[in-house]
Amino acid sequence: MGRGIAQIFAQAGIPVRLFDSHSPALAAAVQSLAGVFTLLQDKGRLSPEQAQAATARILPAQTLADLADCDLVIEAIVERLDAKRELLTNLDAVLAPSAVIASNTSSLSITAIAASSSHPERVAGYHFFNPVPLMRIVEVIGGPRTESHILDRLCELAELAGHRAVRAQDTPGFIVNHAGRGFGTEALRLLGEGVADPATIDRIMREQVSIDGSGFKLGPFELMDLTGLDVSHPVMESIYRQYFDEPRFRPSVIAAQRNVAGLHGRKRGEGWYRHLEGKQQNPPEPAVPGVAVIPPVWVAPGAQHSALSSLVTDLGGRLDTGREPGPDSLILLAPLGHDATHACLDWPAERALAIDTFFPVGKGACQRRTLMTTPATRADYRDAAHALFAADGVRVSVIRDSAGFVAPRILAMIVAIGCEIAQQHIASPTDIDTAVRLGLGYPAGPLTLGDKLGAVRVTRLLDEIHQITADPRYRPSMWLRRRAKLGLSLLHPD
């Protein structure tokens, strides 16, 4: 991180002094940056003169005293509060009172770090993302004593270096790591409930979600394997504890156990997936069952009745058009937030399955469909439904009973947490969406995502999941509920 931060400012024409308490690491960093600038020159992204000038702007500092005339010091040391506090105390002894100290911490409190300084008003957060030259977003965080003009200067400096600056209050996880809790923690919750395995959850999130034609490039378990469970799980625990055990951020015992076991992901060769020579080994997709005769399909009444009836006939299925399901008919349900069991009402659960209609499921309109069984669903009816809904070549995932299916549940949590960040005025609605879109690579920021999915629909989804599970993690934020009731965009400020 330190090298990346040094690189972008040197390329922007700003002299940089690089310090590391371990002298060999300092020498390696200076040499590495010179190589980076040469590589950029070879690729035609820097002229020879620009590469030479950028290299000349990187000067090693052998001691902290060599930083005495710096206007800004950015620390990117180990993520330990005691270490950062000790460094700030030492910097206070050598820096001018007007110099700014910025921490690149991703999870520690800026307020707690600044408390060790005799000038807490000059301490701020400056959270870059790795790799810094490619992730063009930086969170600028002010503590309760940080002077506002310092935040203005840090934003201007970031923009000068080609990065988008977003402002946040000092709060656990700031914007990006805070908003990112919905994606991974809800996927772990689904895994813990036995709804589906990691590969199935990842496939659904990659292939079923479509926001204006864009989706998630990686599923939640693939992302955890990429970042490393030894990195992501401690962040989950830290944010949960810092928010005094807020249910929305509750981490998973499964992840905790796997972290202790060293199943950290790609860098260890094994995580949620096995990785051979850096390549993820995906389990095979379950085969479409061979079914001789598919029973007639009775579609339960509701908003999706007409569309699902058309889909059944488009796929070559037979419709049962009776007021009640026939004695042998497959019963097709389309709940929003309820599970298949609760959606089944008085119909025979052994012949019932639910289909996720949160995104289009019509012929030619999707890459994947998700079916959900009740605990009583017979295997022959499960296989018949799988065969029917795969008849046009669309991939089908069959999951166990779950309030809210997979994709709707994860997306609703992303929206709910984003709305809560806005409700707490941690950042502006626009900055929340910008930070999440650029920092996490989501197809849309959480508030825009809620607008695209429909605030009323997301509110109802969360209410129904909350009703089924009785878990307060699913309660809608008042920001979401009020805007849904008033018909306002979730980006509409207070």
Catalytic residue among 109, 116, 117, 177: 177
The C-alpha atoms of residue 438 and residue 333 are separated, in whole angstroms, by 37
Residue type, 156: E
The C-alpha atoms of residue 394 and residue 398 are separated, in whole angstroms, by 13
Catalytic residue among 127, 233, 264, 338: 127
Catalytic residue among 103, 104, 106, 402: 106
The b-or-e profile of 87-120 (16+ CB within 10 A means b, else e) is bbeebbebbeeebbbbbbbbbbbbbebbebbebb
Cis-peptide, bond into residue 48, ω within 30° of zero: no
What would the 3-class secondary structure string for 286-312 be? CCCCCCCCCCCEEECCCCCHHHHHHHH
For residue 398, list its beta bridge partners.
371
Question: Is 178 noted as a catalytic residue in this protein?
Answer: no
The C-alpha atoms of residue 275 and residue 224 are separated, in whole angstroms, by 13
Question: Is 127 noted as a catalytic residue in this protein?
Answer: yes
Residue type, 140: V
Neighbours of 353 (CB within 10 A): 24
Nearest to 389 by CA among 293, 308, 306: 308
Question: Is 106 noted as a catalytic residue in this protein?
Answer: yes
The b-or-e profile of 131-155 (16+ CB within 10 A means b, else e) is ebbeebbbbbbbbebbbeebbebbb
Question: Is 425 noted as a catalytic residue in this protein?
Answer: no
Nearest to 462 by CA among 287, 278, 248: 248
Catalytic residue among 103, 116, 139, 207: 139
Nearest to 89 by CA among 64, 70, 71: 64
CB 296 within 8 A of CB 318: yes
Joined together, the tokens standing for residue 459 give 């509110």
Joined together, the tokens standing for residue 273 give 């997936």
Sign of the CA dihedral running 72, 78, 81, 85: negative
Give the dihedral of Cα atoms 41, 44, 46, 48; nearest 10 deg: 50
Give the residue numbers marked as catalytic.
106, 127, 139, 177
